[in-house]
């Protein structure tokens, strides 16, 4: 089958980080990647700049079809404070959306986090699932937290991500851009779920990440949407299956298969 489309140009913010590296490894043959990061990125055409530098962000956006906005302070513990979150999560994200608009970039895939709804994990039945106290729970009967449930951030980091999601919705509705938010779960450094029960809910394997992002880049017909990013884990708190239906893909992995 011939493919008449030219190869899409994808800008990865935070390209030097783990997720940027996984995406380049797995999707490098399909897309023309470039990057922007504070650090140089081996083997990638990239801009070395802080995302608080709006001009640098705008420069990196030229000719780009889709921005995958990964760059952020990723630590979500309550001690990570505004001195870090303001520049790295708030200002950087405001710059990314505005520069994308200015440069005519049609699509932004914004990496948010399950932490924006993390407080649901203190309520039942989700608390028991997060703690591995399964008792008589049937995983197929658990009510799932949807993408439209009111945000319940579990810390300042999560509030900074809600800001990004909300600002993205404005850019989508006001300027006709496609903005897709991925509420990312947990990615183990060894591509396996952690030993804790919450990882059995939140784990996302590298290949399932790659497929999800590929679909977020390709899927037509979306103005703004939010999807939870996890593998096909048996135990769920969030409505991950909606992503598989709307984005039309099937994740391959299940954290339950790694239980020892």
What is the closest distance, in whole angstroms, from the C-beta atom of residue 162 to its own copies in the complex?
4
Judged by CB under 8 A, the residue of 27, 145, 167, 210 near its own copies is: 167
How many Å apart are CA 70 and CA 47, to the nearest integer?
A: 15
Nearer to its own copies, 44 or 86 (CB): 86
Q: Other C-beta atoms within 10 Å of 39: how many?
A: 12
Determine if 94 is a binding residue for its own copies (CB under 8 A): yes
CA 241 and chain centroid, separation = 16
Interaction with its own copies in 174-193: which residues (CB under 8 A)? 174
Interaction with its own copies in 37-66: which residues (CB under 8 A)? none
Q: Is 211 helix (H, G, I), strand (E, B) or coil?
A: helix
Determine if 155 is a binding residue for its own copies (CB under 8 A): yes
DSSP per-residue string spanning 87-153 = IIIIIHHHHHHHHHHHHT--EEEEEEEGGGGGGGGGSTTHHHHHHT--TT--GGGPPPBPTTSPP--
Could you tell me which stretch among 126-134, 143-151, 196-204, 240-248 binds its own copies (CB under 8 A)?
143-151
Contact criterion met (CB below 8 Å) for 110 and 168: yes
Beta bridge partners of 13: 36, 69
Report the candidate in 46, 14, 7, 8 with the shortest Cα–Cα distance to residue 184.
14
What is the closest distance, in whole angstroms, from the C-beta atom of residue 70 to its own copies in the complex?
20
What CA–CA distances, in Å, run from 94 to 58, 76, 195, 197?
12, 20, 36, 35
Judged by CB under 8 A, the residue of 44, 56, 137, 159 near its own copies is: 159
Nearer to its own copies, 91 or 142 (CB): 91
Could you tell me which stretch among 15-23, 35-43, 155-163, 200-208 binds its own copies (CB under 8 A)?
155-163
Judged by CB under 8 A, the residue of 82, 102, 223, 259 near its own copies is: 82
Rounded to 10 degrees, the C-alpha dihedral 63/68/69/71 comes to: -100
What is the closest distance, in whole angstroms, from the C-beta atom of residue 63 to its own copies in the complex?
25
Could you tell me which stretch among 35-43, 83-91, 135-143, 193-201 binds its own copies (CB under 8 A)?
83-91
Could you tell me which stretch among 15-23, 38-46, 65-73, 116-124 binds its own copies (CB under 8 A)?
116-124
Determine if 150 is a binding residue for its own copies (CB under 8 A): yes
Handedness of CA 230, 235, 237, 240 (dihedral sign): positive
Determine if 162 is a binding residue for its own copies (CB under 8 A): yes
How many Å apart are CA 12 and CA 15, to the nearest integer?
A: 5
Determine if 152 is a binding residue for its own copies (CB under 8 A): yes
* Active site amino acids: 157
How many Å apart are CA 195 and CA 214, to the nearest integer?
A: 28
Residues within the interface to its own copies (CB under 8 A): 78, 82, 86, 90-91, 94, 116, 119, 122, 148, 150-156, 158-160, 162-163, 166-167, 169-170, 173-174
């Amino acid at each position: 089958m011939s493919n008449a489309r030219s190869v899409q140009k994808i800008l990865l913010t935070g390209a030097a980080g783990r997720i940027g590296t996984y995406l380049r490894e797995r999707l490098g043959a399909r897309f023309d990647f470039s990057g922007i990061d504070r650090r140089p990125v081996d083997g990638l055409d990239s801009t070395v700049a802080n995302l608080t530098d709006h001009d640098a962000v705008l420069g990196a956006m030229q000719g780009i079809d889709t921005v995958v906005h990964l760059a952020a302070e990723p630590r979500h513990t309550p001690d990570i404070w505004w001195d870090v979150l303001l520049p790295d999560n708030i200002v950087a994200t405001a710059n990314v959306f505005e520069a994308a608009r200015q440069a005519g970039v049609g699509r932004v895939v914004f990496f948010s986090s399950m932490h924006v709804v993390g407080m649901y994990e203190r309520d039942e039945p989700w608390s028991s699932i997060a703690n591995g106290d399964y008792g008589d729970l049937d995983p197929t009967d658990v009510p799932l937290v949807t993408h439209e449930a009111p945000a319940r951030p579990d810390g300042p980091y999560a509030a900074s991500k809600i800001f990004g999601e909300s600002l993205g919705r404005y850019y989508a509705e006001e300027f006709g851009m496609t903005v897709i938010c991925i509420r990312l779960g947990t990615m183990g450094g060894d591509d396996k779920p952690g030993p804790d029960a919450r990882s059995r809910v939140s784990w996302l394997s590298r290949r399932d990440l790659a497929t999800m992002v590929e679909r977020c880049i390709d899927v037509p017909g979306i103005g703004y949407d939010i999807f939870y990013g996890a593998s096909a884990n048996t135990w769920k708190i969030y409505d991950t299956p909606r992503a598989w239906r709307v984005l039309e893909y099937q994740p391959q992995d299940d954290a339950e298969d790694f239980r020892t």
